[in-house]
Amino acid sequence: MNTFVAEGANVAFCARSAEEVAAVEAIFADSPSTVIGSVLNVRDAVALTAWVDASAQKFGGVDVIVANVSALAIPDTAENWVDSFEVDVMGTVNLVKAALPYLEKSDAPSIVAISSVSGREADFASGPYGTAKTAIIGYIGGLALQLAPTGIRANTVSPGNTYEPGGVWSSIETGNPDLYSLALGLNPTGRMGTAQEIASGVVFLSSPVSSRTTGTNLLIDGALTRGIQF
């Protein structure tokens, strides 16, 4: 979000925690951009659509959407399969559907969905999480082809291990140090990525600077994955 604001964008965001929403809004209280947070569970398609409509009304339209939500449901359980489908996959699909009428009116419309290296290759997160992330890449790729004649671009960003204080890998570092050491050791750069490094790629794909880029899956993983991407 910092990077969008730094580029002068107005931002509407949502999260489930009222405290987290208020904390983020406070960070940008004195920003020249308008940053508005809402408490929302993206499983609720009706509420999600209403949020998009309200945001469009507030800002006079929608130019960019970023689908960046995940249940982070890694263990192979029946509940996690449902969570991954309803949150990761349908949360993305329903956001796109709600935003399309506004994107069609934009001069520089863009859709970016956050996938993962786990959606590109088999790893410890294969199962509910990895399969959902693979589905997102496929969905956005098809969307890019369908929407190309309208000028709406659609891309995915697939981060590798990304370390953020208080984030997933931060908790794994203390809660499961063996897994953390294993994952860290797989990174040829000797470190995990940062949120800023991922955000820069997202903002690039969102902006008119990347006007010829659509249907791509941008890996930001420090050479973590080994496959050649054709």
Task: Give the model confidence (pLDDT) of 3-29 as tens digits.
Answer: 999 999 999 999 999 999 999 999 999
d(CA 226, CA 15): 34
d(CA 36, CA 160): 29
**CA-based nearest residue to 51, from 33, 32, 69:** 69
CA 127 to chain centre: 19
Backbone angles phi, psi at 180, to 5 degrees: -60, -45
Distance from C-alpha of 116 to C-alpha of 219, rounded to nearest angstrom: 8
Cα torsion through 141, 142, 143, 147, rounded to 10: 110
Report whether 146 contacts 104 (CB < 8 A).
Answer: no
Q: List the chain domain ranges.
A: 62-220
Cβ-contact 135, 89 below 8 angstroms: yes
Burial of 26 (0-12, 13-18, 19+ CB in 10 A): exposed
| Residues identified as active-site | 115-116, 129, 133
CATH architecture of the domain 62-220 equals 3-Layer(aba) Sandwich (3.40)
pLDDT for the residue numbered 125: 87
What's the sign of the alpha-carbon dihedral 172, 173, 178, 180?
positive
pLDDT > 90 fraction of the chain, expressed in percent and rounded? 94
**3-class state of residue 189 by DSSP:** coil
Q: Interior CA angle at 166 toward 163 and 172, to 5°?
A: 65
Q: 112 - beta bridge partners?
A: 66, 155
Model-level pTM?
0.95
- Asked if 114 and 71 touch (Cβ cutoff 8 Å), the reply is no
Q: What is the pLDDT along the chain (230 residues), one digit of tens a residue?
A: 899 999 999 999 999 999 999 999 999 999 999 999 999 999 999 999 999 999 999 999 999 999 999 999 999 999 999 999 999 999 999 999 999 999 999 999 999 999 999 999 998 889 999 999 999 999 999 999 999 999 999 999 999 999 999 888 999 999 999 999 999 999 999 999 999 999 999 999 999 999 999 999 999 999 999 888 77
Helix (H, G, I), strand (E, B) or coil at 39: strand
- Residue 175: how many CA atoms within 13 Å on its side-chain side? 7
